[in-house]
């Protein structure tokens, strides 16, 4: 005879085993809900000029039924990823999935994620500090890492990934000088070759939202990122998208509401296209920071930023490099002395509203003492940069200054061009840009030299 105790836990056991259907994923019904077709996503209207690999149709589906009651769905997600690897779709059709354990899915090949509900990470800070994934670069960590070949995630405008960030925001105000208090990123795409991420909402990440590292041939389309505190403590370091050591990446048609870089292109980001974004509350579309690690080479090359709306931000277009000497920048954080270059970067068409600086270039990132910075000019060269078609109104913060282009030396910062720049002062004063070590003949605006 089967015991009543066993019967009481049988539904949970069955729910933890992903159901597999050996048929195309789209249009299949499970528990009254229907799987979605993978959307067709391509760069538009511009493209990188490089080919994106084909993604064959999937032939099997793993239905993941949420355990409910706050139980950890992480293990069954991992099991489903293994079962449906090599040609399958993971279908998340329930309203809420709870994830209370780190997800290492860096082994994927030809896999889709059909996410129609919410995947919510628990806010057990003590657990996550002990169990998150760690990376060398800037001592960052994450809840979830995904890697492999031909990996697609789509939310059909309904799917949500939620980092339960509020407790992290509040705790960081107390723990920010504690070097062991590492806040995880929402999701890391590490080592993906070919993939599309679309129609998803990323919400309440404790740290950066989307980190794209060691990856190539990826398109992010129709994304919505939100990271805002509901308490008096502001959310910090909530970058929307970050690229690092990645090539042929497109980020487009998306909305980012956050408190740090809307997009940040970090070391060895090449052939990057960013187009048709709305950014609110951010630090702009940033190249860098670069040159943080002593004698390490950072390259950012062949970048096109097109058709951006930037509101309530510290910057519109921003390029930031560390000084040429290694030294302490802020408490607990040292950097500088790295090498490399920024080459062929274009910012084309940006509408600004209440933005502190329309354009900012600095080679003294992390060093407030300009005199000390000039004594150690940046080793990282900035060249062939183009700003075109900037319109709108700056904020009152530096009024009537609307931009800052500060280079440490003409030898490492040159061929910076700007034209059709029409950013106004909010008080109707004559706008100007602070310039230092710049060839002002290439700039279509009024420069005011530093004194």
- pLDDT one-digit tens code per residue, 88-127: 999 999 999 999 999 999 999 999 999 999 999 999 999 9
Whether 264 and 312 have beta carbons less than 8 Å apart is answered as no
Whether 71 shows a pLDDT value over 50: the answer reads: yes
Number of domains in the chain: 1
Tens of pLDDT, residues 393-451:
999 999 999 999 999 889 999 999 999 999 999 999 999 999 999 999 999 999 998 76
- Quickly state the pLDDT bin for 220 (edges 50, 70, 90): very high
Residue 27 lies in a domain: no
Kindly report the pTM of this predicted structure: 0.93
Residue 289 lies in a domain: yes
In this prediction, residues 211-226 reach a mean pLDDT of 98
Residue 13 lies in a domain: no
List beta partners, residue 315. 357
In this prediction, residues 10-17 reach a mean pLDDT of 40
Catalytic, out of 283, 388, 414, 417: 283
In the sheet with 184-185, reading across from the earlier edge strand, the strands are 133-134, 141-142, 184-185
Closest CA to 320 of 290, 295, 345: 290
- CATH number for the domain spanning 134: value is 2.160.20.10
Give the integer Cα–Cα distance in Å for 115 and 198: 10
Residue 33 lies in a domain: no
Residue 372 lies in a domain: yes
List beta partners, residue 334. 328
- Cβ partners under 8 Å of residue 447, min gap 6: 405, 432, 433, 434, 435, 438, 440
User: What is the number of H-type helices and E-type strands within the chain?
Assistant: 5, 30
* H/E run at residue 81: helix 74-83
Q: In which domain, by residue range, is 97 found? A: 77-449
- Cβ partners under 8 Å of residue 16, min gap 6: 67, 75, 76, 79
Residue 43 lies in a domain: no
Give the integer Cα–Cα distance in Å for 406 and 336: 17
Residue 213 lies in a domain: yes
Residue 248 lies in a domain: yes
Whether 264 and 243 have beta carbons less than 8 Å apart is answered as yes
Closest CA to 318 of 278, 358, 348, 346: 358
In this prediction, residues 189-201 reach a mean pLDDT of 98
Whether 11 shows a pLDDT value over 70: the answer reads: no
Note if the bond before 45 is cis, omega within 30 degrees.
yes
The SS3 assignment for 167 reads helix
Q: Is 278 a catalytic residue?
A: no
- Quickly state the pLDDT bin for 164 (edges 50, 70, 90): very high
């Amino acid at each position: 005879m089967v015991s009543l105790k066993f019967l009481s836990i049988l539904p949970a056991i069955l729910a933890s085993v992903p159901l597999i259907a050996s048929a195309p994923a789209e249009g299949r019904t499970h528990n009254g809900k229907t799987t979605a077709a993978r959307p067709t996503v391509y760069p538009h209207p511009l493209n990188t000029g490089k080919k994106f690999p084909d993604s064959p149709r999937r032939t099997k589906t793993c239905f993941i039924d949420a355990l409910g009651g706050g139980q950890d769905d992480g293990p069954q997600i991992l099991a489903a990823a293994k079962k449906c690897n090599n040609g399958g779709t993971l279908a998340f059709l329930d309203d809420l999935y709870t994830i209370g354990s780190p997800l290492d899915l860096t082994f994927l090949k030809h896999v889709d994620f059909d996410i129609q509900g919410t995947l919510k990470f628990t806010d057990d800070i003590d657990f996550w500090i002990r169990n998150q994934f760690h990376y060398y670069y800037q001592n960052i960590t994450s809840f979830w890492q995904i890697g492999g070949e031909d990996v697609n995630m789509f939310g059909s405008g309904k799917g949500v990934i939620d980092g339960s960030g509020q407790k992290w925001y509040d705790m960081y105000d107390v723990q920010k000088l504690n070097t062991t208090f590492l806040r995880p990123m929402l999701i890391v795409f590490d080592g993906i070759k070919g993939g599309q991420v679309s129609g998803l909402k990323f919400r309440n990440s404790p740290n950066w939202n989307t980190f794209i590292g060691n990856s190539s041939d990826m398109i992010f389309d129709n994304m919505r990122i939100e990271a805002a505190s509901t308490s008096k403590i502001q959310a910090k370091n909530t970058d929307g998208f970050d690229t690092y050591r990645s090539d042929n990446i497109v980020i487009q048609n998306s909305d980012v509401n956050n408190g740090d870089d809307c997009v940040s292109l970090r070391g060895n980001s090449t052939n990057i296209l960013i187009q048709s974004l709305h950014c609110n509350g951010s630090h702009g579309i940033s190249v860098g920071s670069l040159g943080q690690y002593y004698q390490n080479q950072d390259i950012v090359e062949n970048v096109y930023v097109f058709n951006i709306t930037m509101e309530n931000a510290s910057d519109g277009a921003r390029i930031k490099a560390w000084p040429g000497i290694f030294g302490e920048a802020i408490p607990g954080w040292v950097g500088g002395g790295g090498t490399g270059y920024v080459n062929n970067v274009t910012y084309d068409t940006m509408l600004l509203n209440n933005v502190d600086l329309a354009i900012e270039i600095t080679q003294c990132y992390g060093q407030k003492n300009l005199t000390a910075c000039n004594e150690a000019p940046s080793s990282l060269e900035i060249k062939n940069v183009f700003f075109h078609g900037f319109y709108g109104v700056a904020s009152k913060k530096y009024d009537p200054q609307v931009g800052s282009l500060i280079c440490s030396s003409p030898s490492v910062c040159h061929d910076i061009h700007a034209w059709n720049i029409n950013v106004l002062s909010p008080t109707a004063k004559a706008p100007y840009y602070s310039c230092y070590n710049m060839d002002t003949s290439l700039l279509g605006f009024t420069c005011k030299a530093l004194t």
